[in-house]
């Protein structure tokens, strides 16, 4: 078998045709979805980039690996301590090592390890190609290297390629020559009305409409698709156009690779194609634009599409899953557990993983998953959320200088963009969400080698990394503006942070 995994940074499912988007952003990916299984309720349990790929690579939640943020102690993999064997269990249990145990030659085309000093991600790789842009490269720096590798090695059997594209990630980096194929199209999603956008103009916090550049409205000359601020609904439309351009540009590049495989007669029943992402993106949700900043539906829901030899075709899976489930699924499909001794590797027990295999969904269409999920964000804000039934319950510990309510509850079926907080009207649903989170924390801390929940490590280290030492200067920015009335509440909610600066 040959496997190619397209890892598309910052990809929202609801901006893909196979997930119902009206724009033609993903014609190539849509064709893969028609040949395989498309998972509708798939999430990253630990957002954003670094924590998410830690969960994907280890099959464990951040509360156990220790990686829940982008800086400080919570950005590093926790050591195993005195119980560490000659080979540590996370490296032996990791995605690429498990594939090696199954006899695959593993290759990654990604600058992610260098961007986040996440060298553990390379455990088990046979080859690693770093495009060198620390995440600021666009697809033309990746695709030719993949094609070159396939030209030399493609006809070999038993390879796994991890191909990582960054283009939908801000600041939008799709090259200018690509243009804007969506310029003349109306937005299919018109929830950001002039009245809604007026409220967004008054939002305070990083990556609001008036601070697309996070803390200022300064444009970035190297990234003309990414403005410093949005001043009208027309600006919002152009902003979303440019996000969609990143998706379409990646889709075109995936097409280049798949067409090359077809030219080599390798696009056949021996090839598995997987398409997923590390996280989504706030595009106005909770007042945030162009950032994956919260533990909500916009940031944490991700696509998962799997076309595999002998698998289901044109199937949709509706059950809840998260990206820790991928590794146990792969192990079951490839019978990795039985092969470790043959490769002189340390066998990793199933209880090592937090994920739950969905191999049966791929094999026979059985749609079975979890009853609920817990989602965490500790890089831009500190939040934990419970996703259950039609609801999303968000509990905020540090709002990252957004003035979020401590508890938020959204009915995602009637309010997919999280505009109406139902928490005060539905205390029983809030209690249910809070209990899901509490029970999950208890279960994970019982499994953990450590006594400290890393969310609280972040809180004790002065809050989320991306807001460190920013409050005083941001308050100065707000003074004398129409948003100056928010300063008193910022000082009240974040008094401790002012003392730190």
Question: In 264-325, which residue ranges form alpha helices assigned H by DSSP?
Answer: 297-300
Give which of 246, 201, 207 is closest to 227, Cα–Cα: 207
Q: How far is CA 98 from the centre of its chain?
A: 22
Residue found by looking up tokens 């990206």 in the block? 323
Per-residue pLDDT, 186: 85
Per-residue pLDDT, 357: 97
Give which of 123, 121, 159, 166 is closest to 143, Cα–Cα: 166
How many whole angstroms separate alpha carbon 225 and alpha carbon 239?
7
**Dihedral sign for Cα atoms in the order 168, 169, 172, 175:** negative
Whether the upstream peptide bond of residue 171 has omega within 30° of 0, thus cis, is: yes
How many whole angstroms separate alpha carbon 481 and alpha carbon 346?
61
Helix axes 233-263 and 194-201, enclosed angle (nearest 10): 100
Give which of 154, 164, 358 is closest to 268, Cα–Cα: 154
pTM for the structure as a whole: 0.96
List Cβ neighbours of 121 (8 Å cut-off, separation of 6 or more): 53, 57, 108, 110, 112, 113
Instruction: Confirm if 310 and 41 have CB atoms less than 8 A apart.
Output: no
Per-residue pLDDT, 501: 73
Task: Convert the pLDDT of each residue in 319-331 to its tens digit.
Answer: 999 999 999 999 9
**Dihedral sign for Cα atoms in the order 342, 347, 350, 354:** negative
Count CB neighbours of 258 within 10 A. 20
How many whole angstroms separate alpha carbon 44 and alpha carbon 243?
20
User: For every one of its 501 residues, what pLDDT tens digit does the chain have, with 9 covering 90 and above?
Assistant: 999 999 999 999 999 999 999 999 999 999 999 999 999 999 999 999 999 999 999 999 999 999 999 999 999 999 999 989 888 999 999 999 999 999 999 999 999 999 999 999 999 999 999 999 999 999 999 999 999 999 999 999 999 999 999 999 999 999 999 999 999 998 866 899 999 999 999 999 999 999 999 999 999 999 999 999 999 999 999 999 999 999 999 999 999 999 999 999 999 889 999 999 999 999 999 999 999 999 999 999 999 999 999 889 999 999 999 999 999 999 999 988 766 655 666 778 888 999 999 999 999 999 999 999 999 999 999 999 999 999 999 999 999 999 999 999 999 999 999 999 999 999 999 999 999 999 999 999 999 999 999 999 999 999 999 999 999 999 999 999 999 999 999 999 999 999 877
Per-residue pLDDT, 401: 97
Q: Tell me whether strands 382-388 and 282-283 are parallel, antiparallel or unpaired.
A: unpaired
Residue found by looking up tokens 């067409």 in the block? 259
Number of helical (H) and strand (E) elements in the chain, helices listed first: 17, 15
Structural domains of the chain sorted by starting position, each given as residue range(s) with its CATH number in brackets: 2-179+249-361 (3.40.720.10), 374-500 (3.30.1120.10)
Identify the three-state secondary structure at position 319: strand
How many whole angstroms separate alpha carbon 246 and alpha carbon 230?
19
DSSP 240-271: HHHHHHHHHHHHHHHHHHHHHHHHTT-SSTTE
Rg of the chain over Cα atoms, rounded to whole angstroms, equals 22
List Cβ neighbours of 481 (8 Å cut-off, separation of 6 or more): none
The CB-side HSE value for 10 (13 A sphere, CA atoms) comes to: 26
Per-residue pLDDT, 344: 64
Instruction: Confirm if 137 and 112 have CB atoms less than 8 A apart.
Output: no
3-state SS track over 375-396? EEECCCCEEEEEEECCEEEEEE
Torsion over CA of 164, 80, 99 and 257, rounded to 10 degrees? 0
How many whole angstroms separate alpha carbon 266 and alpha carbon 202?
54
């Amino acid at each position: 078998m040959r496997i190619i995994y397209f890892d598309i940074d910052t990809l929202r499912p609801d901006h893909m045709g196979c997930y119902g988007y009206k724009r033609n952003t993903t014609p190539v990916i849509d064709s893969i979805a028609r040949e395989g299984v498309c998972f509708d309720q798939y999430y990253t349990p630990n957002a954003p980039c670094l924590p998410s790929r830690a969960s994907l690579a280890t099959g464990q939640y951040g509360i156990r690996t220790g990686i829940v943020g982008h800086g400080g102690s919570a950005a590093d993999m926790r050591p195993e301590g005195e119980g560490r064997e000659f080979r540590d269990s996370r490296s032996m249990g990791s995605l690429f090592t498990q594939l090696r145990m199954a006899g695959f030659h593993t290759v990654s085309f990604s600058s992610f390890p260098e961007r986040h000093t996440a060298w553990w991600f390379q455990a088990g790789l046979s080859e690693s190609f770093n495009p060198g842009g620390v995440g600021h490269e666009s697809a033309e720096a990746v695709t030719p290297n993949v094609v070159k590798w396939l030209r030399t090695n493609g006809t070999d059997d038993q390879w796994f390629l991890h191909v990582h594209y960054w283009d939908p990630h801000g600041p939008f980096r799709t090259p200018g020559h690509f243009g804007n194929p969506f310029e003349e199209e109306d937005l299919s999603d018109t929830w950001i009305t002039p009245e809604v956008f007026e409220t967004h103009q008054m939002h305070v916090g990083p990556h609001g409409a008036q601070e697309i550049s996070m803390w200022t409205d300064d444009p970035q000359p190297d990234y003309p698709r990414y403005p410093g601020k949005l001043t009208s609904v027309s600006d919002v439309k152009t902003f979303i156009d440019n996000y969609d351009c990143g998706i379409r540009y990646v889709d075109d590049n995936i097409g280049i690779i798949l067409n090359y495989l077809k030219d080599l007669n390798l696009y056949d029943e021996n090839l598995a194609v997987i398409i997923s992402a590390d996280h989504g993106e706030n595009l106005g949700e909770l007042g945030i634009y162009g950032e994956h900043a919260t533990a909500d539906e916009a940031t944490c829901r991700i696509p998962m599409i799997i076309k595999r030899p002998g698998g289901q075709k044109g199937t949709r899976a509706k059950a809840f899953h998260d990206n820790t489930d991928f590794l146990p699924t792969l192990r079951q499909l490839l019978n990795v557990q039985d092969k470790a001794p043959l490769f002189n590797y340390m066998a990793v027990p199933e209880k090592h993983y937090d994920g739950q295999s969905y191999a049966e969904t791929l094999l026979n269409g059985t749609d079975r998953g979890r009853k609920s999920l817990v989602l965490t964000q500790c890089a831009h804000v500190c939040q934990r959320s419970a996703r259950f039934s039609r609801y999303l319950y968000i509990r905020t510990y540090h709002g990252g200088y957004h003035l979020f309510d401590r508890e938020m509850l959204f009915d995602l079926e009637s309010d997919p963009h999280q505009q109406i907080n139902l928490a005060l009207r539905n205390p029983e649903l809030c209690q249910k969400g809070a209990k899901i989170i509490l029970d999950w924390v208890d279960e994970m801390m019982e499994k953990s080698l450590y006594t400290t929940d890393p969310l609280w490590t972040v809180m004790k280290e002065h809050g989320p990394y991306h807001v460190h030492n920013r409050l005083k200067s941001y308050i100065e920015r707000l003074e004398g503006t129409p948003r100056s009335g928010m300063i008193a509440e910022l000082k009240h909610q974040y008094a401790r942070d002012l003392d730190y600066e």
